[in-house]
Amino acid sequence: MIEIIEYEGITQIKLSRESDGKPLYWVAAYLVDGLLIDTGCDYTAAELVSFLKGKKFDLVVNTHFHEDHVGGNALIQKQFQVSIYAPPESISIIGQKPFLYPYQEMVWGYPAPSTAKPIPPFIRTDHHAFDVLATPGHSAGHIVLLERERGWCFSGDIFARENPKFIRPEEDMGETISSLAQILVAMPSQFTLFTSIGRIVEDGREALEANIRYLQELAVKAQGFHQQGRSVEEIVQNIFGGEHLFAQMTNGQYTTENLIRSVLKMTDTVTPDPFRGMGPEGKFAD
């Protein structure tokens, strides 16, 4: 399944495996001035290639190695013979069959191995210059692309929403905050986020600042409970009212417990109002 949205000269390509005529989970690739940012999953590779035929299309950048971002690589290389660039940490992973949990295989499928080159510090197209910024946190070697003059940030998975309720076990919220702060420093006062889940966020600065505040405040709250001797499970219950349904849906990979364990490792989390954003009984609103 594929949906196309045009925005300020950027083509957003939303891709998802289809089930009973409905998308299982959207992931977005972006085509701008001959540059394709991410390639979706294996199940949508043929649709993506079909869409790209006849388009101005010179090169590919993968923001990181996850299967929903590199699944079209191999077929695109076969059909178009274009270069694919990726963070150095991602290249060996992209070049082999990954390990996937059952939910990943069902929703995104196994990406065929592909060959990627180390991404340079800058990507230049005919009309734009993109800075490549290392933004670890969601995964090792994650990068974002910044077009500062136009105020565009192609954020991959370093930002999805302002108030995440669950994360994968390898995600690091301390590193994520540092990465978001780097984007804020690098970008002009007004900029737009182009996310991999399909959100186009016109006030990118406000969104990233809200995300940072939320994680800092969550860390203060969680660490307070931890100092009282509460277990991680008890902290999840006290703050969120229990584990998120995604834990069962993702074979225990996307969990609120992972989020709490990560923020408990954070330091320097003091904020002027550590309870902002919380509803009654100290729980965060959905």
If asked whether residues 86 and 143 sit together in one domain, one would say yes
**Does 207 fall in a domain?**
no
Q: Please give the C-alpha separations between residue 180 and each of 85, 93, 124, 151, 164, in angstroms, as whole numbers.
A: 22, 25, 23, 15, 14
If asked whether residues 103 and 242 sit together in one domain, one would say no
Work out how many domains the chain is built from and give that number.
2
pLDDT of 95-151, one tens digit each?
Answer: 999 999 999 999 999 999 999 999 999 999 999 999 999 999 999 999 999 999 999
**Does 181 fall in a domain?**
yes
If asked whether residues 162 and 226 sit together in one domain, one would say no
Q: How many CB atoms lie within 10 A of CB 286?
A: 8
If asked whether residues 178 and 81 sit together in one domain, one would say yes
If asked whether residues 163 and 55 sit together in one domain, one would say yes
pLDDT given for residue 267 in this prediction: 72
**Does 208 fall in a domain?**
no
pLDDT of 184-232, one tens digit each?
Answer: 999 999 999 999 999 999 999 999 999 999 999 999 999 999 999 999 9
If asked whether residues 119 and 249 sit together in one domain, one would say no
**Domain of 121, in residue numbers:** 2-202
If asked whether residues 154 and 276 sit together in one domain, one would say no
**Does 211 fall in a domain?**
no
If asked whether residues 225 and 114 sit together in one domain, one would say no
Judged against a pLDDT cut of 90, whether residue 238 lies above it is answered with yes
pLDDT band, very low/low/confident/very high, at 273 (cuts 50, 70, 90):
very low
If asked whether residues 32 and 101 sit together in one domain, one would say yes
Joined together, the tokens standing for residue 39 give 């390639």
pLDDT given for residue 277 in this prediction: 42
Judged against a pLDDT cut of 80, whether residue 283 lies above it is answered with no
Contacts of 212 (CB under 8 A, 6+ apart): 177, 180, 181
Q: Which of 194-203, 229-238, 271-280 has the lowest average pLDDT?
A: 271-280
Share of the chain above pLDDT 90, in %: 90
Domain boundary among 169, 202, 235: 202
**Does 241 fall in a domain?**
yes
Domain boundary among 140, 173, 202: 202
Domain boundary among 155, 171, 202: 202
Across the range 20-27, mean pLDDT stands at 93
Across the range 237-241, mean pLDDT stands at 96
Pairing of strands 35-37, 18-19: unpaired
If asked whether residues 121 and 248 sit together in one domain, one would say no
If asked whether residues 232 and 156 sit together in one domain, one would say no
Give start and end residues of each alpha helix (H) in 85-203. Answer: 88-94, 102-107, 173-186
If asked whether residues 148 and 13 sit together in one domain, one would say yes
